[in-house]
Amino acid sequence: MPDSKFQQFLTRENAAVVLVDHQVGLYSGVRDTGLLELKHNVVSLARAAQVLRLPTVVTTTAADSMWGPLIPEFTEVLPQGTDVIDRSTVNAWHDSRVHDRIKATGRKKLIFTGISLEVCAALPAIAAAAEGYDSYVAVDASGTFSDTKRETGIVRLQQAGVIVSDYATLMVEILADNAAPEAGETYEALDMAFAVLVGQISAAYSRQS
């Protein structure tokens, strides 16, 4: 395996997903991307992670007061009985329950998303990297409250050596083989518009032949 984390690939055996603070109160302030697209991307990432059987850690902060519950679209796709960790710390990594649950996955490559990008996703990703984990952030499954926050958040992530990508690329990298039995279900979960269109075109040609 290459020595540099930037040359190593995500796999089903080395990756886990950490979804931080996808709560209604925080979503109400998102301004750097469309809410429908953001919700779509978060839900699609969560669904694909389940298809690929990736350990997934879900957190909220001040769910009973300041920031409210998880957005319903996300809650609907979580496996029944998912234990969501509600905390008070700004940085999810600083909550011992979150830290211990991530450590218990045994995975060294962590994919983070969060609302907001520069706090909920970036701060634990940077903290994890400082402890020797390889941190990734799916920027299109994270949102924040201004374009400036988004731009400076991404710069800070890159300065800290966190790998930034998009939700679909990370999951397809983990899928690795389009001949895998889970490939069709993975792409269905990702719900990429162009891929759906290609499938429709292919199906139409198949009916004609």
Collapse the DSSP code of 17 into the 3-class scheme (helix H, G, I; strand E, B; otherwise coil) and give the result.
strand
Residue 194 is predicted with a pLDDT of: 60
User: pLDDT 10s per residue in the chain (209 long)?
Assistant: 677 888 899 999 999 999 999 999 999 999 999 999 999 999 999 999 999 999 999 999 999 999 999 999 999 999 989 999 999 999 999 999 999 999 999 999 999 999 999 999 999 999 999 999 999 999 999 999 999 999 999 999 999 999 999 999 999 999 999 999 999 899 999 998 666 555 555 566 667 65
Residue 2 is predicted with a pLDDT of: 77
Residue 206 is predicted with a pLDDT of: 66
- Give the angle 105-109-115 at the CA atoms, nearest 5°: 90
Cα–Cα distance, 149 to 32 (Å, whole number): 9
- Per annotation, catalytic residue among 120, 125, 157, 174: 120
Q: What is the DSSP string of 94-152?
A: GSHHHHHHHHHTT-SEEEEEEBSIIIIIHHHHHHHHHTT-EEEEEGGG-B-S-HHHHHH
Collapse the DSSP code of 67 into the 3-class scheme (helix H, G, I; strand E, B; otherwise coil) and give the result.
coil
Residue 7 is predicted with a pLDDT of: 87
pTM of the shown model: 0.92
Asked if 38 is an active-site residue, the reply is: no
Residue 53 is predicted with a pLDDT of: 97
